[in-house]
């Protein structure tokens, strides 16, 4: 079981890299700035935990930005580990549904945290905002699923009939 969890964690890390790459491509194509919401979520979580992020204005913001990025990586690793633990069930879904499930899980965690902490209201987003959130999460799901499939005993993606 530990081997499956570790393989899943590695798959989730690869998926997180794909999510970040998709987000950076979106930034290049649309000339949009990086999102401040991961850092805001990290700040609100730290505040709720009673932890203080040290530093004056810019230094504190830089730390929050780093914590936001690290929390995204951690989310990917944890979702990947869970998927590794449930690998046979996840792989039975096939590459399309499996990718959607894994990407949707990551999206639900991150968007749920933003809504819970009142950082953002996903229900008020327009189509472009949803697309810029969904596409990187689908990239996460596809790469995580593909990595899990590649690490399976047969080393191949099995498409259900």
Domain boundaries, the chain: 2-31+73-150
Task: Kindly report the average pLDDT of the chain as a whole number.
Answer: 91
* Separation CA 129–CA 119 (nearest Å): 15
How many CB atoms lie under 10 A from the CB of residue 43?
22
Q: What is the pLDDT along the chain (161 residues), one digit of tens a residue?
A: 888 999 999 999 999 999 999 999 999 999 988 888 999 999 999 999 999 989 898 999 999 999 999 999 999 999 999 999 999 999 999 999 999 999 999 999 999 999 999 999 999 999 988 988 999 999 999 999 999 999 986 655 555 55
pLDDT of residue 154: 61
Q: Look up residue 127 and give its DSSP letter.
A: H
Q: How far apart are CA 142 and CA 120, in angstroms?
A: 26
Confidence at residue 55, expressed as pLDDT on a 0 to 100 scale = 86
Tokens 């944890």 belong to which residue?
78
pTM above the 0.75 mark?
A: yes
Residues 82 and 103: beta-carbon distance below 8 Å? no
Contacts of residue 128, Cβ cutoff 8 Å, sequence gap at least 6: none
Residue 41 and residue 72 in contact, taking contact as beta carbons nearer than 8 Å: no
């Amino acid at each position: 079981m530990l081997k499956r969890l570790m393989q899943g964690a590695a798959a989730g890390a690869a998926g997180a890299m794909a999510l970040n790459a998709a987000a950076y491509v979106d930034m290049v194509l649309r000339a949009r700035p990086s999102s401040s919401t991961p850092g805001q979520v990290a700040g609100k979580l730290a505040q709720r935990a009673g932890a203080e992020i040290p530093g004056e204005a810019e230094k504190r913001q830089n730390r929050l930005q780093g914590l936001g990025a690290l929390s995204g990586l951690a989310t990917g690793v944890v979702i990947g580990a869970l998927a590794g633990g449930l690998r046979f069930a996840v792989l039975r879904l096939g590459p399309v549904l499996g990718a959607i499930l894994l990407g949707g899980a990551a999206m639900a965690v991150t968007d749920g945290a933003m809504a819970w902490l009142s950082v953002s209201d996903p229900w008020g987003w327009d189509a472009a905002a949803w697309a810029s959130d969904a596409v990187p999460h689908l990239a996460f799901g596809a790469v995580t699923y593909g990595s899990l499939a590649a690490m399976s005993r047969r080393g191949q993606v099995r498409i259900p009939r």
